[in-house]
Amino acid sequence: MLISTFFFKTHLVGPIAELYSNQANHMISFIIMVIVFDACVRKTIPLTLFSRFNIIQGVLLDVICSFLGITYSQLSYLVRESTFGELIANVAYFGIVGFILYSIFMILFGRYPKIPIVSEGARLNVQIFR
């Protein structure tokens, strides 16, 4: 038991925690997302409408995840550790995971995923430069 916990901590959780603990990594990933978003909106990369829509929708979901994470981290300790704070964190987490799984499922069947607000934003951004 102790050996598996040590292995898990040093080889799996440690590198991931180190990756996410650095603020520069967050900035680099955000800059990459902005570049990908701009490339899909302006059609600088020859992609189908279906691909561009889903990429933009994924970028918008990433922005929502980042916003929720920053908002949650700025809450006071009392709110974060209360039952209400835990409830909000779990709803946000399982909601985003549900949206991602739903999107994967719909994309595999060749259909457009319809996520409230996010799909409308992606549709508007795809059609701007048509």
Contact 47, 11 (CB under 8 A): no
Residue range 40-77, pLDDT digits in tens: 888 888 888 899 999 999 999 988 888 888 888 888 88
List of residues 6+ apart from 45 with CB closer than 8 A: 39
Compare 21 and 98 and report the one with higher pLDDT.
98
Query: Which pLDDT score is estimated for 72?
Result: 86
Q: Is the pLDDT of residue 29 over 70?
A: yes
Predicted local distance difference test score (pLDDT) of residue 80 = 85
Domain ranges of the chain: 2-128
Contacts of 25 (CB under 8 A, 6+ apart): 19
Distances (CA, A) of 126 to 31, 33, 65: 20, 16, 21
Amino acid at 3: I
